[in-house]
Amino acid sequence: MTDNRNRMGTHGIRIVLRRLAQHELQVTAREGASILVAGHHCEIRVGQQRARPHVVTVGGKQYAYRYTGTSWNFHAHGVRATPAPEFWLLLDVTDGALFVVPDVVLAPTLTLTRHIGDRAGRAKVHQYRDRYDLLWMRGEAA
């Protein structure tokens, strides 16, 4: 399992780097999943859609559901080797969605789940899908 997850992460980082190049955004430094894009410190996170069980009890009766979603982790253990990111680049390898999310939107969140389905538009990151233009801006993140 760990080998597949590592492969997925490495493959996902390559996808993100390719997409940035397609949008003429130059990556000037890279250390693992930390990159410097157009002068902004960014962190790449890769997730894959998974179906998770969920049980609700109403009036003594249990209802079982399966929610599909993509989860990303943002916490770091120990001392950071790179500066705190200005942007998080969140890739869902299942559907290819890439979200360019300012850190101020996610802080102090440690994890995030994007639910897939009828209510998907309500996700915190939904408005940041393919927002490469934010990386061209200087100064405060939008």
pLDDT in tens, 42-55: 999 998 888 888 89
CA distances from 7 to 11, 50, 53, 93, 112 (A): 6, 17, 26, 12, 21
pTM above 0.85, yes or no: no
C-alpha distances out from residue 14 to 19, 44, 94, 121, Å: 9, 10, 15, 27
What is residue 7's predicted lDDT score, i.e. its pLDDT? 65
Considering only residues 94 and 121, tell me which one the structure prediction assigns the higher pLDDT: 94
Residue ranges and CATH numbers for the domains of the chain are 2-136 (3.40.1350.10)
From 93, 116, 113, 129, select the one nearest 5 (Cα to Cα). Answer: 93
Residues 86-113 have pLDDT tens digits of 999 999 988 888 999 998 888 787 888 8
For the chain, percent of residues with pLDDT exceeding 70: 85
pLDDT interval class at 84 (50, 70, 90): confident
Q: Which of 106, 107, 139 is nearest to 125 (CA)?
A: 106
